[in-house]
Structures are given as structure tokens and as C-alpha cells.
Amino acid sequence: MRFGFHISISEGFSKVIEQAEIRGCETIQLFSRNPRGWGSHPLNEKEIGLFQSGVKEKNLYPVFLHLPYLPNIASLQSKFYHRSIQSIIMDLERAEVLGAQYLIIHIGHRLESSEEEAIEAVSRGLNRAFEKVKNRIILLLENTAGQGTEIGYHFSQIKAILDRLEEKERVGVCLDTAHAFEAGYDLSHREGIERTLESFNQHIGLNRLHLIHLNDSKTPLGSRKDRHWHIGEGYIGLEGFRILINHPLLKHLPGIMETPRKDTEEDLRNMKVIRSLVT
């Protein structure tokens, strides 16, 4: 498994490589713009050139772009539904410019909609985005913890979305370990992990799994509360991560950590812990 972190772009794309190298990353995830806003600045050609050459020089792959937090295509009733589709279109295009291979999106909140209506809204929004952008970027649906009115916390919901897509080959899944645990999939021991992978394969297919978000959970199994924690220090624990990263069905995948970060030292500690579990 190739390990990495979500890297901040606050100092510019050219500084992402430096931050990745300090942390010992083999793969990276980043935003292409402000994650808590709708707007964006044009991508700077010089910055992007430095970023791309750095990615190649440091052998960082795959590169994952993450959609900002505000877009929500899970409710047709949302006044931001169409704006959210445009946001996906924008980042599909920006991913290609940056040289990323994947774009990760949160499936969203259904708000006052039913589950069925939300699934239809998501699939409709993705179909529209794919009509507008024809490129090779693979869009990854990230499973959720099921907090509030989130959908996508059960594998059957993700399957229902995939079944309605017109260009299924352009979509895969990012499995977040904290979200899965908080949604009720027990990843703290071998039996629970095997059951989870069997369920994932039955509903979605392991061939659609392109990335693991390696995050421990600060809240108990089935809490439906989205709280990431440091590797081995939460309810999944060291044994759960040892089994996950060495599992024959998963060890070929990249693993990105989104663990809490106050400073670089916390990232270095998490990287040291996850690498110590490789057998």
C-alpha cells in the first residue's frame, strides 16, 4: 500500500511537493481551490508546472483531487443543487489540468428528501456533469458516516447510485475507514473486516474500490458521528489497521490519511505508526 496525506494548498501548489516530501508521502490528496467556498482563482500556469514536475520527480502517485465541502447534489430541493453540479464540472476540468487521476466527492445530504429521491438526485447530477466534461478523470464516491441526513453510509445506497449512472466506467469508490466504522461496519477485527469486504463486493464490487482513507474513529461503532482520529488511537485500533493495510484484497491500493493535524509532528507520527504495521 502506498501511503500519503491530504496536503494543504494554502502556500500554493508548488509548495505541496515539499510538504508531501517532509511527510514521507508516496501518494497525495489536495483541493484545487478554497474548500469552504464556491469561488476559484484561475490555475497559475507556472505553479502548475512546478507542481507537475515535482509530482513526477518525487514519484507521487496516484494524485487525488478532493471536491470542496459546500457542494451537495443529494437534494433537488437545495438552492445550491445546480451550483453543486457546476462545482463538480469545474473540478473534473481542474483535475485534468493538475494531472490528477481522480476526483473525490462527498455524496451529500438528502435534507428533506427521501432516500430514493436523494439517490436519484445524485445520479442525475453526476450524469449531467459527465455530459459536460469528457475526460479520463475517475470520480470517486466517498462513503459517509451517516451523520444527520447524509446518504451513502450503506453500501446498498452507493450501489443504487451507480446503477443509475450512464457512464459507470467513470465512477469508483473511496472507502473511508472512520466513516465505515461509524456507519456500523466493524473494522476493528478480522471477522468484521471480512464481513465488510464481502458486503462491499456484493453490493459494489471490489474492482470499483480505488482508494482507502485511513482514519481511525474517535466515536464508537455505529455512532453515525463523523470524527476522525489518529491511527491506532481510536475505536478501530492498531489491530484493525494492521489487518486492513496488509489484507490481500486491499494492500495494492493507495491509502490517504486525513487524521487531525495541528502541526507536522502529528502527521509524522501517524505515518510512522501506519508504516510500522506493514508486514
Q: Which residues are catalytic?
A: 36, 66, 69, 106, 142, 176, 179, 213, 226, 228, 258
DSSP secondary structure string for all residues of 26-82: SEEEE-SS-TT-S--PPPPHHHHHHHHHHHHHTT--SEEEE--SS---S-TTSTTHH
Report phi then psi at 87, rounded to 5: -65, -40
Q: Which residues contact 206 (CB under 8 A, 6 or more apart)?
A: 197, 200, 249
Q: At how many degrees (to 10) do helices 115-132 and 81-98 cross?
A: 40
For CA atoms 206, 212, 216, 217, give the dihedral sign.
negative
Q: Which residues contact 279 (CB under 8 A, 6 or more apart)?
A: 242, 246
Q: d(Cα 262, Cα 252) in Å, to the nearest integer?
A: 30
34: buried, middle or exposed (CB in 10 Å: 19+, 13-18, 0-12)?
A: middle
Work out whether strand 171-176 and strand 216-217 pair parallel, antiparallel, or are unpaired: unpaired
Contact 108, 151 (CB under 8 A): yes
